[in-house]
Amino acid sequence: MRKLTYFVACSIDGFIGAPDGDAQFFVPFVDEEFFEDFLKVEYPETLPTHGRRPLGIDGLRNRRFDTVVQGRASYDLALEAGVTSPYAHLREYVASRSLKQSPDPHVEIIADDVVGRVRELKAEEGEFGIYLCGGSQLAGALVDEVDELVIKTYPVVLGSGMPMFGSGFEVTEFALGEVRTFRNGVLVRTYGRKR
């Protein structure tokens, strides 16, 4: 059984973006130490393909994931930049009821039963897991399927915005695994689902 990992950036108060989805205020915290020691080494596949090429890391092998699932709002950010396959180095799925046809043959649209489709992906054989890229509503719909959380907490308070899980109130317990701190104030916590 493959793991579904919600790998997400958030503020201290638990928001993954402004109310309109913008998260550019996190960018200044992706400094050399955080990038070189963490993202590039441990999670290179979470960097979009169009961002990997200019950084000279397009050839890095995937370490943890071979599949990405993202919501329509997250995917729209790539489309607005003219990128139809933001994670071309992974199998790409976009959950959307409104996007009827994929603008790219490499991207599969999940229009109905996203939970069922993710369960199918998790049941596949393979050594790599599934990267849940976001966003808030999709994570809320998949909260019962999330096996692991990797939360990159940036040292900012937003006050309001998009919560990590856009869903109703439900207590779901996870066990703390690793905690890493960086000089710039970023904290990365890894949690596994309590069974």
Q: Report the CATH number that the domain containing residue 33 is assigned in CATH.
A: 3.40.430.10
In a domain, 59, yes or no: no
Could you tell me the residue range of the domain that residue 23 belongs to?
4-47+65-187
Q: What's the confidence (pLDDT) of residue 13?
A: 95
Provide the domain count of the chain: 1
DSSP 8-state secondary structure symbol assigned to residue 134: E
In a domain, 78, yes or no: yes
Q: Quick one: 39 exposed, middle or buried, by C-beta within 10 A (0-12, 13-18, 19+)?
A: middle
In a domain, 55, yes or no: no
Q: What's the confidence (pLDDT) of residue 21?
A: 78
Q: What's the confidence (pLDDT) of residue 190?
A: 98
Q: What's the confidence (pLDDT) of residue 32?
A: 78
Q: What's the confidence (pLDDT) of residue 22?
A: 81
| Regions of the chain with pLDDT less than 50 | none
User: What's the pTM value of the predicted model, to 2 decimals?
Assistant: 0.94
In a domain, 141, yes or no: yes
Q: What's the confidence (pLDDT) of residue 72?
A: 92
